[in-house]
A and B are shown apart, each in its own frame.
Chain A
Amino acid sequence: MIKNFIIFIIVLVIGFIFFSIFLDFNGSEELKGLGKYYAENGAEEVGAANLVTAIVVTYRGLDTLGEVSILFLTASIIGFVLSLSSSNNEDRKVRQASEILKTTSKVLVPIIFVFGAYVFINGHLSPGGGFQGGAIIASGVLLLFLADPKRKINHKLIQWIEAASGISFLLLGIAGILLAGGFLDNSFLSLGKLGHIFSAGAVPIIYIAVGLKVGAELTSIITNYNEIQKEEE
């Protein structure tokens, strides 16, 4: 009883701190500070039509590098811990999926993969990018697993895709140091016309590498979770 009371007081104190932020919050009327600089010079310096892509890949490229390495660490820890506690999976019997799911997945899975690739190739022209495209590709692989739970996906292939795209992301950053202004600068390829698919220098290539890497990592997490299921009937 006293414990519930203390928890209630803690939540009220935290709520009071946030409530005082809420009370003197007026919506801004115009862009100020850093957003104003990116809005004025982002389209000319980077050449990408999507300003959020320009920020994530070039202006804040180091944050993207850190996030990709955290995801790599997470995927490898999950693979390691789950392999310690799994059983022999040649003798597992799993329940078959229903007929509707099997037939529908044959039609939908190629469309989902193509849509995911479209989202991360067009990341610099319309809303989208590497993270969204990678998540869509991982959802397509999940549909494959739901329709056929005994399907095996080659682990070595996923590891090779992940390693190759990680190394190419770093090589593109270092090519920015050698040929252009700094790390992850994108002007060593031509900037092109705004709104064209071959514009913004190296931003499409960097985002393709990031999209493949995020898709491969989320796929390996889903594959590890799927292989520990066993069901006896």
Chain B
Amino acid sequence: MDIFTIEHIALATGIILLLIGIWGMLTQKNIIKIIVSFTLFDTGIHVVMVAISYIKGKTAPIIGESVTKENAIDKIVDPVPHALVLTAIVIGLGVTALMLVYALNMYKHKKSLDITNFKELKW
């Protein structure tokens, strides 16, 4: 069938992983669990972006012995989403570290990790 190729399976995995991350962010009460769900959401988006760039039967975009300069154009996968995902992974780590620092300060303020105790900004 046409739906059982590697890029379809990877695309489906990435989409369901990001849906699990969104659902975790909206229903959990513990602050650390919300940050873990954010990490899953981030990973899901990266899998979707790399899965879209796959071309059937081609190989990695590095010029070596089997992929030479002349026939590179019909032997490699698309290299542009790889460059974008590389930057996004490092920035995801930076945002996670920053969120954890703020979670630590919130815990020092009220001695509890439950997000229903922090209601000062609700109207």
Contacts and interface: CB of A to CB of B under 8 A. Distances in A.
| Direct A–B contact in complex, judged by CB atoms less than 8 Å apart | yes
Contact of A38 (B80, B87, B101): B80
A44 B69 contact: yes
Contact of B90 (A10, A25, A85, A131): A131
Contact of A55 (B7, B15, B54, B79): B79
Contact of A74 (B72, B86, B98): B98
A80 to B, nearest CB: 10
Contacts of A10: 22, 26
Contacts of B55: 27-31
B5 interface: yes
**Dominant secondary structure of chain A at its interface with chain B:** helix
Interface string A15-56: 100110110011111110011101110011000011110011
**B interface majority secondary structure:** helix
B27 interface: yes
Nearest to B82: A52
Contacts, number: 138
Contacts of A44: 69
Contacts of A15: 15, 19
Given A31-B55, A52-B86, A131-B89, 9 more contacts: A11-B22, A15-B19, A27-B56, A43-B69, A49-B63, A50-B62, A63-B87, A77-B98, A127-B60
Interface of A: 4, 7, 10-11, 14-15, 18-19, 21-22, 25-31, 34-36, 38-40, 43-44, 49-52, 55-56, 60, 63-64, 67, 70-71, 74-75, 77-78, 81-82, 85, 126-127, 129, 131, 135, 194-195, 214, 218, 221, 225
Interface of B: 2, 5, 7-8, 11-12, 15, 18-19, 22-23, 26-27, 52-56, 60-64, 69, 72-74, 76, 78-80, 82-84, 86-87, 89-91, 93-95, 97-98, 101-102, 104-105, 108
